[in-house]
Chain A
Amino acid sequence: MADSTAGPKLPQKRYFRQRAHVNIFNDMPLEYPVRPSEQDWSDHFPAYFRTQQQPASAARPLSPGAEPQAKRGPAGSAHTAQPARVEFADIGCGYGGLLVALAPLYPSTLMVGMEIRTKLVDYLQRRIHALRTFQHALGPAAERVDVRSKLRAEFAAPDSTEGLHDNGETERLVPGHYDNIAAMRINCQKYLPNFFEKAQLTKLFILFADPHFKRRKHKARIVSATMLAEYAYVLRPGGVLYTITDVKDLADWNTKHLDAFPLFERIPDDELENDPAVPCVINSTEEGKKVARNNGSKYLACYRRIEDPANLNK
Chain B
Amino acid sequence: MPYTSVTVVEANSCRGAIALVFDSDFHVTDSKGKLLASTAADLQDNAAAIKIANIGKGGAIKAAVFSRDGSLFAICTLDKNLLIYETTNWSCLLSTSTEKRTNAICFDPTGEYLVTGDKFGDSYKFKVGLAESNNSDTGREKPGLVLGHVSILCDVAFSYCLASETQQQYILTCDRDEKIRISKYPNAYNIQAFCLGHTEFVTTVAPASFAPANAVTGSGDGTIRLWEISTGKLLQTVELKEFLAKYYADGRAVCGENTYEDRTAASERYGVLRVRVCEKQRAFVAVVERIPAAIILPFESKQDGEHGVLGNPQLVDLVRAPTDVAVLDDSIIVSLAPVSSAPQADQGTSNDAPLIAALRLGADSKFVHDKELTNALNGCKTKEVALVPAIGSVFVWGNKMYLERPKGEDQDQDQDEE
Q: Give residues in A with beta carbon < 8 Å to B.
A: 21-29, 34-36, 187, 189-191, 193-194, 198, 216-217, 219-220, 224-230, 232-233, 261-263, 308, 310-311, 314
Known interface pairs A25-B416, A34-B178, A34-B196; A314-B167 also in contact (CB < 8 Å): yes
- Which B residue's beta carbon lies closest to that of A308? B190
A193 to B166, CA, bound (A): 23
Nearest B residue to A262, CB-CB:
B189
Residue B155 interfacial (CB < 8 Å): no
Nearest 7 CB-CB pairs, A to B? A226-B148, A23-B418, A35-B196, A189-B150, A233-B191, A311-B165, A193-B194
Within 8 A of A (CB), among B171-226: 177-179, 183-184, 187-191, 193-194, 196-197, 199
Shortest Cβ gap from A231 to chain B (Å): 10
Whole-angstrom distance between the Cβ of B396 and the nearest chain A Cβ: 13
Contacts of B245 on A, CB cut-off 8 Å?
A: none
Assess the B165–A308 pair: CB atoms within 8 A.
yes
A220: which B residues are within 8 A, CB to CB? 416
What residues of chain A lie closer than 8 Å to B342, measured between beta carbons? Answer: none
- Cβ-defined contact, A28 with B189, below 8 A: no
Report chain B residues within 8 Å CB of A22: 418
Check if B299 is an interface residue, CB within 8 A of chain A. Answer: no
Q: Which residues of A contact B149 (CB under 8 A)?
A: 226
Query: What size tier do the contact residues of chain B reach?
Result: 35 or more
Q: How far is the CB of A259 from chain B (nearest CB, A)?
A: 13
Shortest beta-carbon distance, B342 to chain A, in Å? Answer: 30
With A23-B416, A219-B148 already in contact, the answer to whether A229 and B183 are too (CB < 8 A) is: yes
Partner of A25, one of B147, B187, B188, B415: B415
Q: A28-B402, A262-B187 are in contact. Are A217 and B147 (CB under 8 A)?
A: no
B interface, CB within 8 angstroms of A: 120-122, 145, 147-151, 165-168, 177-179, 183-184, 187-191, 193-194, 196-197, 199, 400-403, 415-418
Chain B residues with CB below 8 A from A230, complex form: 191
Of B189, B193, B194, B415, chain A has the most CB atoms within 10 Å of the CB of B189
Cβ contact of A21, chosen from B148, B165, B418, cutoff 8 A: B418
- Output the nearest chain B residue to A264 by Cβ-Cβ distance: B189
Residues of B within 8 A of A28 (CB): 402
Knowing that A198-B193, A228-B189 are A-B contacts, what are 15 other residue pairs whose CB atoms are under 8 Å apart, sorted by A's residue number?
A27-B400, A27-B401, A187-B150, A193-B194, A194-B196, A216-B416, A219-B121, A226-B122, A226-B148, A229-B183, A229-B190, A263-B189, A263-B190, A308-B187, A310-B166
Whether the Cβ atoms of B417 and A23 lie closer than 8 Å is: yes
State the CA gap A190–B147 with chains docked (Å): 14
Given the known interface contacts A27-B401, A262-B189, the answer about A34 and B416 at a Cβ–Cβ threshold of 8 Å is no
Instruction: List residues of chain A with CB within 8 A of the CB of B145.
Output: 225-226
Is B166 a contact of A311 with CB atoms below 8 Å? yes
Residue of A35, A217, A229 touching B416 (CB-CB under 8 A): A217
Q: Which of B120, B177, B188, B417 contacts A229 (CB 8 A)?
A: B188
A2 to B416 CA separation, bound complex (whole angstroms):
46
Min CB distance, A44 to chain B, in Å? Answer: 20
Within the complex, the shortest CB–CB distance from A114 to chain B, in Å, comes to 14
